[in-house]
Chains A and B, each alone.
Chain A
Amino acid sequence: MNGYVEAGYLAVLGGLGGYSALLLGKSKKLKKSLLPVKTKNDRDESRPL
């Protein structure tokens, strides 16, 4: 082709791909930060006292 067409497609695919990766990474990080962290002092509810 002529270089301009390829550059246009590359810009669109690169831009959308980059933003998608950013969204996926951010969502993963946030989900991780909301996971409850078990500490030593947490009592195991399933065990009888």
Chain B
Amino acid sequence: MESKRYKRVRRAAGIASLLSVAVTVILGLWVTPPDVVQGQLVRLIYVHPPVAWVAYLAYGVTSIASILYLWKRTRNLRWDLLAVSSAEVGVIFTGLTLITGSIWGRPAWGVWWTWDARLTTTALLFVLYLGYLALRRVPADSHQRAVRSAIAGLIAFIDVPIVHQSVVWWRTLHQGATVLNPSLSPKIHGEMATTLLIGFISFTFVYIWMLMQRYQIADLEQRVLDVELEQLIKERRNEPGVGSSQIESTEDVDNADQPSKV
């Protein structure tokens, strides 16, 4: 079962998420001033880049967990569960990045969508990680699935720096980075900068809470599978003509429906 400490940290992250997101919304919608160029539209900056940052962070965690699973010295199925949990949360945040970007693009550029470098690479990122999640549904034993998806997760991560650099490498409609630009000089100041920072922190708290919650689900699903497997073994042992020596371990049942190697 999950430890008391894990529960406590998750609860703290949940409370911090609720409070900080509420502060971001209040500051973003009512306290900060409109922009000289963008007017009221600038208020979307307090949610759109922070949501995109969390997507990068989530895929970064997936990649680190994947490496830790692939490296034999640290191999543990828990890294695989962490990788998939983070990837799923990342897909949610990437979807929200695309939606908020589209909502911002309509009044700013006059279109909901354009095949601009930043937009296209972000859409590709979304599809790549959807593929990662789909790959996990392909039937395989837990080790095979973990290795397969760890490799897929690492390949998909190549797109993250491309998304970030796309506004530098190509001529795009999308504006350049406001904070992490090549000259490292933030183009935002005062209460707008503070609100943006609070936005980044608040959505990071949301990510931590979601990751912990999703990881717990992955862990519980694994445990339910184990219980069901034990049940199957018990039933099989009780069948007439099947001795207990014929089924020694859960591995035997696990491999029962797999084609034998020639």
Contact = CB atoms under 8 A, between A and B. Distances in A.
Given A5-B29, A8-B103, A19 B224 contact: no
B100 interface: yes
- The DSSP consensus for interface residues of chain A is helix
Interface residue SS majority, chain B: helix
A26 B220 CA distance: 10
B221 interface: yes
Interface string A19-44: 11001101100110110000000000
A46 to B, nearest CB: 22
Most A C-beta atoms less than 10 A away, residue of B39, B95, B100, B223: B100
B96 A12 contact: yes
Interface range on chain A (Cβ under 8 Å from partner): 20 to 34
B192 to A, nearest CB: 14
A41 B224 CA distance: 23
B205 to A, nearest CB: 11
A19 B210 contact: yes
B100 A34 contact: no
Contacts of B51: 12
A48 B138 CA distance: 52
Nearest to A19: B92
Given A8-B104, A27-B213, 18 more contacts: A2-B39, A4-B44, A4-B104, A5-B43, A7-B103, A8-B103, A9-B25, A9-B29, A9-B47, A11-B96, A12-B96, A13-B25, A15-B92, A16-B21, A30-B221, A31-B220, A34-B223, A34-B227
Interface of B: 21, 25, 28-29, 39-41, 43-44, 47-48, 51, 92, 95-96, 99-100, 103-104, 106-107, 206, 209-210, 213-214, 216-217, 220-221, 223-224, 227
